Amino acid sequence: MSNVPWEWPNSNVIRVIDGDSIVAHMEKDVIIDCGFHVMLTQKVEVTQKLRLNRINASPAKTVEGIAATLYLTQLVLSVDTVLLETLKIVGAYKYGDEWMVEVTMPDGSNVSDLMVTNGHAVYWNGEGPRPGG
């Protein structure tokens, strides 16, 4: 399986669950090569629960978790669209039907990195005990 991300430009975050999980509406046109010089374009739409890749925020009901959720909410709901990238080899998160995602803001900044830089999450690779709470 390829490590090339599935890119979902112009996606909309519709809800923030906690400091490292969101729900987003994604859509894009997919070109299907049917052979015989026939190419079809199909619009694909999905609303999906996603988990920010590479980080962990404190549990939602803690003081730190509430602050992380508020910061993430203000960040991603302050813009009309974001770029979402899910890695094919990462797939669904092991604790539920959340897909690991990199979120890029319109200014090019990465949401996972912003969460860490601003003290609302820590870097984590998903192995071992969860840091940060």
pLDDT of 35: 92
pLDDT of 91: 53
pLDDT of 99: 85
Give the contacts of 21 (CB within 8 A, at least 6 positions apart): 49, 50, 51, 52, 98
pTM of the predicted model as reported, rounded to 2 decimal places: 0.86
| Mean pLDDT value across the chain | 89
Looking at residue 58, the DSSP 8-state letter turns out to be -
What are the structural domains, with CATH classification, of the chain? 5-123 (2.40.50.90)
pLDDT of 70: 98
Reported as type and span, the H/E element at residue 117 is helix 111-117
133 residues of the chain, pLDDT tens digit each? 456 788 999 999 999 999 999 999 999 998 999 999 999 999 999 999 999 999 999 999 999 999 999 999 999 999 999 999 987 655 555 566 678 899 999 999 999 999 999 999 999 887 766 665 5
